[in-house]
Amino acid sequence: MKTIALGLTASLATLLAAAAPGKIAKPPQVTFSKDVAPILVKNCQGCHRPGETAPMSLLTYQEARPWAKAIREAVVLKRMPPWYADSHFGKFSNDRSLSQSEIDTLVAWADNGALEGDPKQTPKPAQFVDGWNIGTPDLVLEMTKEYQVPAAGTIKYEYFTIPTQFTEDKWVRMAEVRPGNRALVLLVIWELTDSHPVIDLAVFKSRNWLLSTLTLSLMFAIFFGNIVLTPMWLHVQLGYTATWAGYATAPMGILAVLTAPIVGRLLPRVDPRWIVTFGFGVLALSFFMRAHMTSSVDYMTVAIAMLVLGAGIPACIITLTSLGVSDLPPEKVASGAGLQNFIRIMSMAIGASITQTYWEHMTRHSRAELVAAIDPTIAQELATKAGAIGFSPERSQSLFSGLVDGQAVMLATNDFYAGATLLMLGLIPLIWVIRRPKAPLKAVAH
């Protein structure tokens, strides 16, 4: 009986063992000499050796053994080896990061007692050239002054400029940074600068650029002030909804689209200053139409002023952007055009917000002036008339107050457009200070 029972338990154990083979099969032993050292040679010893930046040497088993747990953590968290290039953007030939199986090997080694294995199998530590790693370079540039690192304390971020003295552009095939004292350098961030910065302020010295940018920016400021003001005014004054305010401003686009190609055609043939003068003249005319409206203005009057405005816009924008770069040397054209674009967009935003503030302020101001100027007997008379047709005194008072408000808004708006008209006319003489370009102008694409 006993033997049978034993036989049964034994075969059960065999069955269980077959079902969970991992539990029984012994994993291959991970050792320093066979598995770990090759990884250290390839990925770590560049920094982890005497005289380098890393705090400890990892050349031998004796050196690496005490660091086993730290190595495990550093590679699992991908702190080591340092490699910050984003792997989503291509493959780098000097990629020193570890593969997942290499990480697993280092982890298994640390977790299983960090064994040495057979020392005879250990590969030789990596060999490093003491001197240039890239071969003798064609050109060696040195820091102009030595930098003293204090023994203790913190130091500021340091920038060292090393002039190349190149007189022409060069292709760089390879480059190497060699610190005088490698143990003191943690990292070098290397930037190439050149004499054509993205924003080249030298364009300010060009008369045509300066005047074109100035006039274009002022024009944009006013133009956008108008774009912001018109719907606000239509809403307050005439009770327009946003949609109807849109219908009243939209006609601006019609003549803008029609005149843009004409301006492009004329640009190489006509003195561009005439085209800009025409543009500012049209803008002045449109603003003038808006400068003496009354509070009983109708849709068409506003829409026509907007239609006219459209005819002047391309003449100003296309011509002034081209004039702006007309006397710049070819290598400065891009930064000149870019900077001008930036300034005009900025003045657009400033113009829009100043106009709104100005308008609100002026509305209050006009109201105060109106109230002071109103003959009290008129108010009285109105109240009596309103009373006769059945309005309560409060109601007639609020009606009257609304009337004054409406007039105040109208006056403030008219003042804005009178100012805008004068500014547009005032810019015309400035246009004629711009030098006429020698070569025929071409439209600058943005």
- Residues at the site binding ligand HEC, with contacts judged by CB under 6 A: 43-44, 46-48, 53-55, 67, 70-71, 74-75, 79-82, 96, 98, 186
Nearest CA-CA partner of 256 in 316, 216, 346, 323: 316
- CA 284 centroid distance within chain: 35
Residue among 54 and 210 whose Cβ is closer to ligand HEC: 54
In angstroms, what is the minimal distance from the CB of 134 to ligand HEC? 17
- CA 426 centroid distance within chain: 35
In angstroms, what is the minimal distance from the CB of 143 to ligand HEC? 21
In angstroms, what is the minimal distance from the CB of 191 to ligand HEC? 19
Residue among 47 and 303 whose Cβ is closer to ligand HEC: 47
d(CA 265, CA 13): 95
- Local structure of residue 203 (DSSP, 8 states): G
Nearest CA-CA partner of 419 in 238, 284, 312: 284
Structure tokens at 431: 């246009």
In angstroms, what is the minimal distance from the CB of 82 to ligand HEC? 5
Nearest CA-CA partner of 308 in 350, 349, 358, 258: 258
Residue among 103 and 343 whose Cβ is closer to ligand HEC: 103
CB atoms within 10 A of CB 307: 18
Q: Is 64 exposed, middle or buried (0-12, 13-18, 19+ CB in 10 A)?
A: buried
In angstroms, what is the minimal distance from the CB of 44 to ligand HEC? 3
Residue among 154 and 193 whose Cβ is closer to ligand HEC: 154
Residue among 82 and 197 whose Cβ is closer to ligand HEC: 82
Instruction: Determine if the peptide bond prior to 119 is cis (ω within 30°).
Output: no
Residue among 39 and 444 whose Cβ is closer to ligand HEC: 39
In angstroms, what is the minimal distance from the CB of 329 to ligand HEC? 44
Long-range contacts, stretch 130-137, CB < 8 angstroms, 24+ apart: 132/176, 132/178, 133/176, 134/174, 134/175, 134/176, 135/174, 137/174, 137/175, 137/176
In angstroms, what is the minimal distance from the CB of 186 to ligand HEC? 6
In angstroms, what is the minimal distance from the CB of 341 to ligand HEC? 42
Residue among 81 and 117 whose Cβ is closer to ligand HEC: 81
What 3 state SS string does 366-425 have? HHHHHHHHCCHHHHHHHHHHHHHCCCCHHHHHHHHHHHHHHHHHHHHHHHHHHHHHHHHH
Residue among 82 and 261 whose Cβ is closer to ligand HEC: 82
d(CA 24, CA 329): 80
> Could you give the count of Cα atoms lying within 13 Å of 418 in the half-sphere of its Cβ?
8
